[in-house]
Amino acid sequence: MKKVKIKKHKLLLRHLTLDDYDNIAVLMEHVYGNLGGAWKQDQYASQVTRFPQGQMVIEDNGQLVAAALSMIVDYARFGDIHTYAQITGDGYLTHHDPLGDTLYGVDIFVHPKYRGGVDLFVRYKTTPYTHVILLS
């Protein structure tokens, strides 16, 4: 019987960059293919440019496998009565407010092959903290 070599996970948590668009679009097509697919490139560029610290991705051996996008808003401006399109400025994060008081989760998505309750421990290279990412 031939042994199958199983690739070890090599995980990296980092901020998204403008150069990641093609790869994040592929990931989003896997996740949201039946819901319209990836953000348009100009929406993505606006997200990464307006709040680069809030756009995170996990790589496994160089492949993007999960992402979390966020923005800061002034809660008093939006409260609980808003649509997703309104608060995110149709995906451009035009309502991001660095002086706001609420971190708004724009999106979190995980490649289907990485779902299923696996706990992944990721060391973010620029801090001493270990982040626990639950991919379920």
C-alpha 74/C-alpha 37 separation (Å) is 29
Which regions in the chain score pLDDT beneath 70? 1-6, 116-136
Instruction: Provide the edge-to-edge strand list for the sheet that holds 11-15.
Output: 11-15, 55-60, 63-73, 102-110
Q: What is the pLDDT of residue 50?
A: 97
**CATH number of the domain that residue 84 is part of:** 3.40.630.30
Q: What is the pLDDT of residue 37?
A: 86
- Is 3 within a domain? no
Q: What is the pLDDT of residue 53?
A: 94
The candidate with the shortest Cα–Cα distance to 104, out of 119, 117, 89, 121, is 89
Q: Are 111 and 66 in contact (CB under 8 A)?
A: yes
3-state secondary structure of 78: helix
Average pLDDT over the chain reads 84
Give the number of domains in the chain: 1
pTM of the full predicted structure? 0.79
Q: What is the pLDDT of residue 4?
A: 56
